[in-house]
Chain A
Amino acid sequence: AQSVTQLDSQVPVFEEAPVELRCNYSSSVSVYLFWYVQYPNQGLQLLLKYLSGSTLVESINGFEAEFNKSQTSFHLRKPSVHISDTAEYFCAVRTPSGAGSYQLTFGKGTKLSVIP
């Protein structure tokens, strides 16, 4: 079974400052990794994913995440945040095959608050 730990429940950051949201996972098998974002009163939206290949993945709105197998981490970063990035961010894992491979296992989420 896999699990996901998001080390920070809340991260306040000033506008235009960089931010890192941390995510560690545990799994005995290889995994696919995802970051989802949830704006207030909305569902989850896929931000970016790691399936295979390059360990650095990017989203269209400036976020990036790096898969680090040795550290079992998939931290999310943005070099300069905007007010509109204020939301809750969830890291999730999924096994590529076998039992439960359709399930996403989520972390508890990190609330990013961007301060003007």
Chain B
Amino acid sequence: DAGITQSPRHKVTETGTPVTLRCHQTENHRYMYWYRQDPGHGLRLIHYSYGVKDTDKGEVSDGYSVSRSKTEDFLLTLESATSSQTSVYFCAISPDSNEQFFGPGTRLTVL
């Protein structure tokens, strides 16, 4: 299995609070991705990174920001969480933009 972890694994927060999710890899892969997964929608890309400090928006980027200051870490921030951001968040990594390896996921509940 690819060395990829996510923290926290579960989080409950209140509307309007900032939240940061962390993705950490030990594979030195170039590409990193953040997805959210909701019933009926499948996985949707939020942001992705193709190198340190190189990021781009995905399909559902509004309300989210990311940072990648080191190869191994990709942070997803919800500046002011809303109930519509309640979801399961998956991080993925890839050495070459082909096969993606997914982390275990973070279940976020915004009350």
Judge: A and B partners, yes or no: no
- B residues sitting closer than 8 Å to A (CB atoms) are none
Binding site for B on A (CB under 8 A): none
